[in-house]
Amino acid sequence: MQIKRFGVSLEEDMLNTLDKFVVSNQFPNRSQAIRNLIKSTLVTESWEKNKIVAGAIVIVYDHHKRELNSKLMNVQHDFHNLILSTQHVHIAHDLCLETIAVKGKSQDLVKLADRIIGTKGIKHGKLVMTDLA
């Protein structure tokens, strides 16, 4: 991929804000920060337009909760066409962390994530998506 250079004009206070953003996010330079901001905007646009995206649903739960594993499995089977893989990790005696790799229309992934994260017994959950461009 060829890199193209171009100039950007910003008000001084906006430039100072950008520089603080660079430092706080440990970007090596302004260009990397601007690249990240542009990509974030384009990813958000893909979600809003219900395009095909990929992502992960990450959940933490107590595997001793009655019938929770069965409920999670049933939801995943209901959305089998969106799920690429699942990784299950034991992070403490009672706690499990599961990462579910997904791909599909953004609205369908949100529905799947809402069903999983909303299941009684889930301690924490989050959906992360990115576009395929």
CATH number assigned to the domain comprising residue 116? 3.30.70.1150
By the 8 A CB rule, do 121 and 62 touch?
yes
pLDDT (average), residues 56-76 = 93
**Do 36 and 63 have their domain in common?**
no
Place of tokens 């594993």: 69
Q: Which two tokens stand for residue 4?
A: 């193209």
- Helix 106-117 vs helix 30-48: angle between axes, to the nearest 10 degrees? 90
- Domain limits for position 30: 12-48
Give the pLDDT confidence score for residue 46 in this predicted structure: 85
pTM: 0.81
Separation of alpha carbons 63 and 66, rounded Å: 8
Residue-wise pLDDT tens digits, 78-95: 999 999 999 999 999 999
**Do 61 and 116 have their domain in common?**
yes
Separation of alpha carbons 66 and 72, rounded Å: 12
Place of tokens 């992960």: 56
